[in-house]
Amino acid sequence: MKKLLLIPIGLLSSATISAMSVNQPIGASFTLGSMPNQRALVTSLSNPASPYFMVSDSSFRSGTLGPLSIGIEIGAVSDLEDQVENLEEIVDANYVDLEDAKNGVDEANTLLAEIGDNAYVKTSLSMQLPFMPIIYKTRNSGAFMLDANLSVISKGSLLSGTFLRIGSELITDTSFYAQTATDFSVGVGYSQSISESSRGMWVGGIKANLHQMSLGRALVELDDKDNDAADAISNAVSDDSISSTGVGVDLGIIWMSHHFQAGLTLANLNEPVFEKPSIIQNSSSYTYGITETSSYTMEMQATIDAAISTLSKRWMLGGSYDLNSIEDAVEDRYQWATASLSYYGSSEVFPGIRIGFRKNLAGSELSYSSVGLTFSQHLNLDVAVALDKVDDDNGDETPRSYYIALGYNASF
């Protein structure tokens, strides 16, 4: 039985695709971090002051297609599929006497304690709308930006409970639990030089992001033999998800000199709030259920970044650091620290090469190594692999997470 693995994959295929929050950088930003790099247009999405550096005076720059970004993450449980199947087999077994049932309860509770909250699978997908972002820099050196993106995050997990015996029958409040977050976001921003000197310049920016977010929650009991978990959860999310609209405001400032740059970003400064379903436990029947509406707050996050580079910006070494952790729409916490090295040259085959490292200092605490290539001045491919590993069903080590992004954009 592959219920836990199928839940998030099935939800990705059936959910409305919408915009990625700040928690998961997209495209080359996964490798490069949040610092602006004029050679990679997608880095203009991090700091609202970044668009100023992406174009020359009185000119346009826009994306073409993508990047399309896909990620998958699993909990820190070896043989996750086998562990969940073993748990289901214990629940579904026919016990002939009380002693067998008691042993089944003990075995199930022991197994559940081992896998606990780590039995989960999370998938994410995001994509910029075609030709986004669009940046126009006026004659007086003010840069306007329009951006729109789509994404969906889905997480399937075990909601841990307790196994009890009633006669020779096992009952439990443990459930398959699914969470989805879909979001369509349109952003409008403006950046402007604040002061300039022979040593460099200060640039500030502001951006407002309109989010149309749909949040879904669904449950199927582990001992429910009448429903297919993946189908039941997919139907419940479709029927019971809640949509709401909010606006997040980002502020940013960047110091740029010939060989050094540094920036500060305040994302979601006003902390917009969105409606979502929530769950409660029915203590009398040992079951969980979806209850009244609660809320999800898109928390403010402060990020600093810095880089050193050659005068042409072809070589760049830098990093970024989130000053606080925040919770995403499926209840995972993120606080990224990144480091990267990139080179953008004139080669027709590999004009862009970048390597990076990033670590989540909160939540999963996963670390990633990543590499990105730009082919023939247009095609960008970035791949990241988690350094944290678990044993798969064959006893071989496998990374807990993978990330891949593909986009087609003109170089600069």
Nearest partner of 71 among 162, 154, 179, judged by Cα: 154
Question: How many structural domains comprise the chain?
Answer: 1
* pLDDT computed for residue 230 by the predictor: 65
Tokens of 150: 């789509």
Q: Write the DSSP symbol of residue 129.
A: P
Q: Residue 120: which domain range?
A: 3-408
Tokens of 90: 């214990």
* pLDDT computed for residue 351 by the predictor: 82
Q: What is the pLDDT along the chain (412 residues), one digit of tens a residue?
A: 455 655 665 555 444 443 345 467 888 899 998 889 888 899 999 999 999 999 887 788 988 888 999 999 988 887 777 777 777 777 777 777 777 778 877 877 878 777 777 888 898 989 899 999 999 998 878 999 999 998 888 888 887 777 777 766 777 777 788 888 999 999 999 999 999 998 999 999 999 999 999 998 887 777 666 556 666 666 666 667 889 999 999 999 999 999 999 999 999 999 999 998 877 655 444 445 556 678 999 999 999 999 999 988 889 999 999 999 999 998 899 999 999 999 988 777 778 899 999 999 999 999 999 999 988 778 899 999 999 998 776 777 889 999 999 998 865 5
The answer to whether the beta carbons of residues 154 and 179 sit under 8 Å apart is yes
The answer to whether the beta carbons of residues 214 and 242 sit under 8 Å apart is yes
C-alpha R_g of the chain: 24
* pLDDT computed for residue 16 by the predictor: 41
Cis peptide before 67 (omega within 30 of 0): yes
How far from the centroid of its chain's Cα atoms is residue 92's Cα?
Answer: 35
Cis peptide before 399 (omega within 30 of 0): no
Q: How far apart are CA 329 and CA 150, in angstroms?
A: 15
Map residue 38 onto helix, strand or coil: coil
Residue 110 maps to which CATH number?
A: 2.40.160
* pLDDT computed for residue 17 by the predictor: 40
